[in-house]
Amino acid sequence: MKRGVVYTETIVHSPPELFAREVPYQLAIIDLEGGGRVTVRIAGERVAIGDTVKWLESRNGIDFFEKTS
């Protein structure tokens, strides 16, 4: 299971048309365990820089990660 650490994040309030129904939503750039940096969506609890997250699911080809407890 993919895990990573939050490098930076934001909560989007003003969306593009396509995501208009999903606001507010959290985006994060995460450093993946084993290397690589990707932009993902966060599900559930809000995360901050330095938090550890794990892959939750893929919805319409978009990877969602969640905070590890």
Partner 1 sequence: MALADAGVAAEAVESFYLGNFAGPSFAGQNHLAPYVASGAGIRGVPATRFEAACASSGSAFFHAVTAVAAGVYDVAVAAGVETMTCQPTPRVTEILAGAGDLAGEVRVGATFPSLFAMIARRHMHEFGTTREQMAAVAVKNHANGALNPLAHLRKRITMEQALAGKPVSEPLTVYDCSLISDGAAAVVIIPLERARDFPGISLRILGIAQASDYVALDAKDDITSFRANRVAAEKAYRMAGLGPGEVDLAEVHDCFTIAEIVALEDLGFVARGEGGPATVAGWTALNGRLPVNTSGGLKSKGHPVGATGVGQICDLAIQMRGAAGERQVERRRVGLAQNLGGSGATSVVTILGAA
Does 15 participate in binding partner 1 (rule CB under 8 A)?
yes
Q: In 3D, which of 44, 43, 40 has the Cα closest to residue 30? A: 40
Rounded to a whole number of angstroms, the minimum distance from the CB of residue 19 to partner 1 is 5
- Residue in 45, 57, 62, 68 binding partner 1, rule: CB under 8 A: 62
Does 41 participate in binding partner 1 (rule CB under 8 A)?
yes
- Residue in 38, 54, 66, 67 binding partner 1, rule: CB under 8 A: 38
Question: In sequence order, what E strands does the chain have?
Answer: 3-12, 25-32, 37-42, 52-59, 62-67
